Every structure is written in C-alpha cells, then in structure tokens.
C-alpha cells in the first residue's frame, strides 16, 4: 500500500530546502494547493453525484434519464452548472439581507469543512487531528445554522416552515449519528481518522465488532440519510408542500451552494461510514490468506475508499427512490422512540464487548 505522505514530505522539502522559500511561504503555497484540491474535488464529486442520481432514479422508474447532451447524457450536468453560474442573483423585498446572504455560505462552509476530513489514501488526508471525529461533527453542524438562517431571512412562510423542520430534524438525528461514532471510538480507542483506519488493518470494524458494529453501521446509514435531508427524510424540501423549502427564494449560485452542499453531505455521510465501519482506504484482509491479502494490497487505497463510499451512496439512492416521504411526526418518532434508545443500548453493548474482549 503506497504511503502518500512520501509525496507530501518530498514537496515540503522541495519548497523549504531546494527552493529556500522559508516556512511562511512554504506553508502558504501548501495551504493554497490544498484549498484548490478540496474545492476541485468538491465540485467534481458534486457533478458525478448529480449525474449518478439522475441515472439511478431513471433506472428505478424504468426510464433512461437525461440523454440529449453528450453520449448517454454525460454533459447534461455540466450544462446545468454553466446555466446556474450565469443566472441572475436577486434579493427579496423585506428580507433580512444579512441573514439571506450569509446563509448559503454557512451551509457550504460546514460541508467543505467536514469534507476536508475525508482520508483518501494512506497519508493523503488534509485534516487528521487526534479529536477528528469530534471536530468534524462540530464543523458539519454549521450547516444547520445556514439552513435555519436561510428560511428565516427569506421572509417567506414556506421557507420558515422548512427551516424549522430542517433544524428539528437535523438536530434530532445528530444524536444517533454521534452515538454510532462513539461506539466506533470505544472499539478502536481513538477519535483520529487515521488511527481508526489503522485499527482495521486486520479486519474491518463491521466484522470485528460483532452485532454492535452492525447495528451502529445500519443506524448510522439511516441517521446520516436524515442528516443530509435525503428522501424519505426530505421534509424540509417537500416540493408538494413547501415549493423548494428553505431555498425557495434563492437563485443563481445562492441556490447552487445549497444544491452542492446537499449532494456533498451525502458523500460525507457515505465517506465517514466507509472510513469508520468499512476500513476507509484499508484493503480487505483475511487472516491466514497471505496471498489474497498481498493481491488486495496492490489495489490503490483511493480506489478502496471511493469504491466503498459510492457503494454506500448507491444504497442511499436506493432507499430514496424506493420509500415514500415520511411525515414530520413519523421522522421524529423514528429518532426519539427507536433510533436514540437503540443507539444508547448499542453503545452500552459495545462497551461490554470491549471490556470483556469479545471482539475479534
């Protein structure tokens, strides 16, 4: 398995020693390049996910999806992006202009900040703090503030109802989401993403942790889907009731920021699930099968990570286009009466498994 830190160390020494730029300029150049990489990967993944959802949706509805622009419709999303970039940005009369303007940026900042924690390969992670899981969940919570401010600042009754629904739903499901991650922290003994992945070198957590790990994984998928406002938990954007929800009054890239954040939040949910429960970039290793393990090590880590993440995304799309939209009381009942108690009980069960050494 190639360690990407070799490349980053070489580039850092090139700037500092070979070119003699000094600490300040070297760090500045590295930060700019990292920022460009994050934004480029963010945009490219958003285009891929939008196209993927359109085609998966078409498959479930026995149709073809967009087919006109480019072969198999591959350039349709790019045309939609260009159209959105050229659309006029207008302001709503009697709206709170400050809240109206900053809301999309807050949502995007929370999404990009959480996206920066994704471990793409061994040694290829932008942020890898020793409290990584805690910090990522804290940064991602900014999206809730952006959604609430968008609904309130738009001065639109449908947007206000949507913002209230979104805030209640996302705050509620964050509880189960965090409890599932705490269960993984109990088993691995660390909150650092790289440490969690290294702890799965001899087996992915979903296999090592017995039944508690499987329960935590499934609960995380459901709660993450609700956290990203994806169907059947898309009550904040219920088109038949609330037009377009909290971003009804937005146009151009104001609307585009919310659109990007929604799809990338789905990828972040899938990426965290793949990292914490399915080993992230770690290949599939089976104890005793050294030849098989050696072959698996030849597959690049980024292929493993993206393969696992997109597999989970496909499951999320499958769920969205299979189940009908739930009512708000059903969504909250699912969380507070079922998922929350189940997550608390599962955390206790995982603690007992670790305390008595019952895991693999």
Distance CA 209, CA 199 (A): 12
Domain boundaries, the chain: 91-355
Which pLDDT score, from 0 to 100, does residue 245 have?
A: 76
Structure tokens that stand for 274 in this block: 């793949």
* Interatomic CA distance for residues 267 and 37, integer angstroms: 16
Q: What is the pLDDT of residue 272?
A: 94
User: What DSSP letter does each residue of 239-259 carry, written as one string?
Assistant: HHHHTTGGGTT--HHHHHHHH
pLDDT of 218 over the 70 cut: yes
Q: Note the pLDDT of residue 347.
A: 94
Start-end of H helices in 249-327 = 252-277, 290-297, 301-320
Mean of the pLDDT values across residues 81-102? 82
Sorting pLDDT into bands at 50, 70 and 90, what band is 183?
Answer: very high
Task: Judge contact between 187 and 209, C-beta under 8 A.
Answer: yes
The average pLDDT across 252-256 equals 82
Dihedral sign for Cα 211, 213, 218, 223, please.
positive
Residue for token pair 């603690």: 351
pLDDT at 360: 66
* DSSP three-state, residue 203: coil
Q: Which residue has the tokens 């900053």?
A: 102
Residue 55: other Cβ atoms inside 10 A: 18
Q: Pick the range with the lowest mean pLDDT from 21-25, 193-197, 331-335.
A: 21-25
The Cβ of residue 132 has, within 10 Å, a number of other Cβ atoms equal to: 21
Q: What residues does 124 pair with on adjacent strands? A: 121
- What is the percentage of the chain residues whose pLDDT exceeds 90? 28
Task: Name the 3-class secondary structure at 172.
Answer: helix
| Residue 214: other Cβ atoms inside 10 A | 15
For residue 121, list its beta bridge partners.
124
Q: Which two tokens stand for residue 137?
A: 């969940």
On the question of pLDDT at 14 being above 80, the answer is: yes
The whole-chain average pLDDT of the chain stands at 87
For the residues 124-149, what does the mean pLDDT come to? 87
**pLDDT of amino acid 335:** 92
């Amino acid at each position: 398995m190639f360690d990407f830190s070799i490349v980053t160390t070489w580039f850092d020494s090139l700037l500092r020693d070979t070119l003699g730029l000094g600490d300040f300029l070297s760090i500045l150049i590295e930060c700019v390049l990292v920022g460009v990489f994050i934004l480029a990967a963010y945009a490219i993944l958003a285009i891929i996910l939008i196209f993927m959802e359109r085609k998966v949706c078409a498959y479930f509805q026995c149709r073809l999806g967009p087919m006109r622009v480019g072969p198999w419709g591959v350039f349709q999303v790019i045309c939609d992006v260009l159209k959105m970039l050229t659309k006029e940005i207008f302001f709503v009369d009697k709206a709170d202009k400050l809240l109206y303007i900053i809301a999309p940026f807050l949502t995007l900042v929370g999404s990009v900040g959480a996206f920066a924690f994704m471990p793409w390969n061994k040694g290829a992670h932008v942020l890898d703090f020793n409290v990584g899981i805690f910090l990522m969940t804290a940064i991602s919570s900014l999206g809730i503030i952006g959604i609430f401010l968008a609904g309130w600042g738009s001065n639109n009754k449908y947007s206000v109802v949507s913002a209230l629904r979104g805030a209640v739903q996302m705050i509620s499901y964050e509880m189960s989401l965090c409890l599932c991650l705490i269960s993984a922290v109990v088993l691995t003994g660390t909150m650092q993403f790289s440490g969690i992945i290294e702890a799965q070198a001899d087996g992915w957590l979903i296999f090592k942790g017995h039944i508690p790990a499987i329960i935590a994984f499934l609960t995380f998928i459901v709660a993450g889907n609700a956290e990203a406002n994806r169907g059947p938990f898309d009550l904040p954007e219920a088109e038949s009731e609330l037009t377009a929800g909290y971003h009804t009054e937005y146009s151009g890239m104001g609307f585009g920021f919310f659109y990007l954040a929604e799809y990338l939040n789905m990828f972040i949910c899938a990426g965290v699930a793949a990292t914490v429960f399915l080993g992230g970039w770690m290949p599939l290793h089976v104890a005793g099968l050294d030849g098989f393990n050696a072959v698996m090590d030849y597959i690049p880590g980024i292929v493993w990570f993206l393969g696992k993440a997109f597999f989970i995304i496909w499951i999320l799309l499958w769920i969205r286009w299979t189940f009908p939209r739930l009512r708000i009381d059903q969504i909250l009942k699912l969380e507070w009466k079922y998922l929350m108690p189940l997550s608390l009980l599962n955390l206790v069960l995982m603690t007992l498994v670790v305390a008595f050494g019952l895991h693999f």
